[in-house]
Structure 1
Amino acid sequence: MKIAATTLGETAGDLFAQTLGLGYFLTTTILFLIFVITLVVQLRSRRYNPFFYWTVILSTSTAGTTMSDFMNRDSSAKYLAKGASSLGWGPQGLGLGYPVGAAILVSLLVAIFIVWKLTGLTFSIRNIDTFRWEILFWSAILVSNTLGTSMGDFLSDSSGLGYADSVLLIVGLLGLLLALRHASAVSNVTLFWLAFVLTRPLGATAGDFLTKPLAKGGLDLGTPGSSAVLLAVLFGLMAHAHVQERRNVVGSNSGTVAANVS
């Protein structure tokens, strides 16, 4: 579900900013407001709802895509669609570049975790049940998704690996984290956050691989079609998770009734 959400975040972000020509600034503003709205709905929910939760994950992923692009890119012709002279309304981008952008985002993420640590709250997401706890969690998610986009774009565009090899590299790193689950000296919470960050560059590179032209090493499937398919996959998985959650609630209530009868 996370990989589907992050890949959709990449293709949908590029769809609005590049294919529809809204530009990074305007798209980032719109998508950040959508993130705030979905977050308010999630925060007001009194119990876990897969649709609310994964909608916020998707909104952080989509907003993170254009936030990263706005930070790292500029008005250079290489970032414009063929034949275009400008990209959307407002500033074209800050042009910080991937190293500087990543350094800023890493610093922000570390700062969030330091504040989180100072509050005395655990980093285990299974126990998150307060407003302050959720704010810290979603702040970390938004920054980590933006950072992951920068990492993915750097691997795809600037490292020389290309889209397919970048995907294989990140899949290999995720496989290593999976193997480390069996090492008792490594915290599962640490592995979770490392994997959470790495799924974002996987989504960024996979999204680029699906949508970029054949000449650049992509499959040239386009952002609209790829986004539609990924959205259908994600909503199918969300529906499955929702059914499982309802079964768990019913099973828990049945167990409570049975215990009371006993």
Structure 2
Amino acid sequence: MSDSLIHRLPDRSMDNALVKVPEVTLLFWILKIAATTLGETGGDAVSMSMNLGYLVGTLIFAAVFLAAVTAQIRSRSFQPPLYWATIIASTTVGTTLADFADRSLGIGYAGGASCLLALLCVSLIVWYRATGSISVSSIGSPKAELFYWITIMFSQTLGTALGDWTADTAGLGYTGGALVFAALLAVVVAACFWTRVSRTMLFWIAFVLTRPLGAVVGDFLDKPVTAGGLALSRYSASAALLAFIVGSIVLFRQRAASRAH
């Protein structure tokens, strides 16, 4: 993304801008994990079960993601269905993109994860230098929103590579991988409650870690029994996860994050 594009984006005053992302609550993290698991099963369903391949799957989901981000940025207020649809789109494109880079291009899980980690760090640094904050509460302008979604897309793709790397290359399997990332998330939660570590930093660490957790859980659900999975249908697993997300959005009210002052 060029600097000229960033500078052309209007940067409204925070006094008049609306934050169009949800407040960070337990429900947020539950839906995030469900959405990332759906991204894994849904991405695999299109690229593998439909035999479209990783490249075609990536192009399809990238188009959906761009359309969702455009709608999200143009929206005048926080809309939970639109927000979570964009999250799901980011995680499905992250799944197929990581698989394409790791497997089709032959970069490998270690190389792919390293490149994506570098891209994620660059995105956060450029975002901070352009707006002065990477906190969720500061996302009140199109410029900040664009950085937010670019960062999310990189984090989702990185999470897929990390999940596959842990489960396959490291030999921990899907259950072992899930336990590792769940334990790391528990450390982040403990740091949030009992240390003074930056809450913004902890948020982005947790955001990244929930993706590989969802990736290994998704793989555990749909991979063959011989590979350590449950061999469930990718379509039925995706449908069940989508139903859970939709039901949660309908049943539980979500509020927009509070603005920074």
Give the alignment's TM-score, normalised by structure 2.
Answer: 0.84
Q: Which amino acid aligns with 2:150?
A: S
Q: What is the CA distance between 1:244 and its match in structure 2?
A: 4.5
Query: Partners in 2 of 1:112 and 1:3 — Cα distance?
Result: 22
Q: How does 1:1-262 map to 2 (within 5 A)?
A: 1-73=31-103, 93-241=104-252, 243-245=253-255
SS in structure 1 opposite 2:193?
Answer: coil
Query: Is the contact between residue 121 and residue 133 of structure 1 (CA under 8 Å) also seen in structure 2?
Result: no
Query: Partners in 2 of 1:34 and 1:166 — Cα distance?
Result: 29
More moved, 102-111 vs 63-72? 102-111
Q: What is the CA distance between 1:240 and its match in structure 2?
A: 2.9
Q: What is the CA distance between 1:120 and its match in structure 2?
A: 3.8
Structure 1 residue runs of 5 or longer lacking an equivalent are 74-92, 247-262
Q: Which amino acid aligns with 2:80?
A: P
Query: Is the contact between residue 214 and residue 220 of structure 1 (CA under 8 Å) also seen in structure 2?
Result: yes
Name the Cα RMSD after superposition: 1.5
How many positions carry a matched residue from both structures?
A: 227
Query: Is the contact between residue 221 and residue 231 of structure 2 (CA under 8 Å) also seen in structure 1?
Result: yes
Q: What is the CA distance between 1:127 and its match in structure 2?
A: 2.5
Q: What is the CA distance between 1:121 and its match in structure 2?
A: 2.6
Query: Partners in 1 of 2:205 and 2:148 — Cα distance?
Result: 14
Greater C-alpha Rg: 1
Query: Partners in 1 of 2:198 and 2:63 — Cα distance?
Result: 35
Query: Is the contact between residue 15 and residue 223 of structure 1 (CA under 8 Å) also seen in structure 2?
Result: yes
Q: What does the per-residue CA deviation read over 1:3-51, in whole Å, with 9 as the maximum and x for residues that have no partner?
A: 0000000000000000110000111001000000111110111111111
SS in structure 1 opposite 2:194?
Answer: coil
Structure 2 residue runs of 5 or longer lacking an equivalent are 1-30, 257-261
Q: Match of 2:20?
A: none
Q: What is the CA distance between 1:69 and its match in structure 2?
A: 0.3
Q: What is the CA distance between 1:119 and its match in structure 2?
A: 1.6
After TM superposition, which residue ranges in structure 1, 4 or more long, deviate above 6 angstroms? Answer: none
Q: Which amino acid aligns with 1:194?
A: I
Query: Partners in 1 of 2:58 and 2:161 — Cα distance?
Result: 15
Q: What is the CA distance between 1:114 and its match in structure 2?
A: 1.3
Query: Is the contact between residue 80 and residue 254 of structure 2 (CA under 8 Å) also seen in structure 1?
Result: no
More moved, 176-185 vs 37-46? 176-185
Query: Is the contact between residue 163 and residue 212 of structure 2 (CA under 8 Å) also seen in structure 1?
Result: yes
Give the alignment's TM-score, normalised by structure 1.
Answer: 0.84
Query: Partners in 2 of 1:145 and 1:229 — Cα distance?
Result: 21
Q: What is the CA distance between 1:110 and its match in structure 2?
A: 1.1
Give the fraction of aligned pairs with identical amino acids, expressed as a percent: 43
SS in structure 2 opposite 1:119?
Answer: helix
Q: What is the CA distance between 1:245 and its match in structure 2?
A: 4.2
Query: Is the contact between residue 36 and residue 214 of structure 2 (CA under 8 Å) also seen in structure 1?
Result: yes
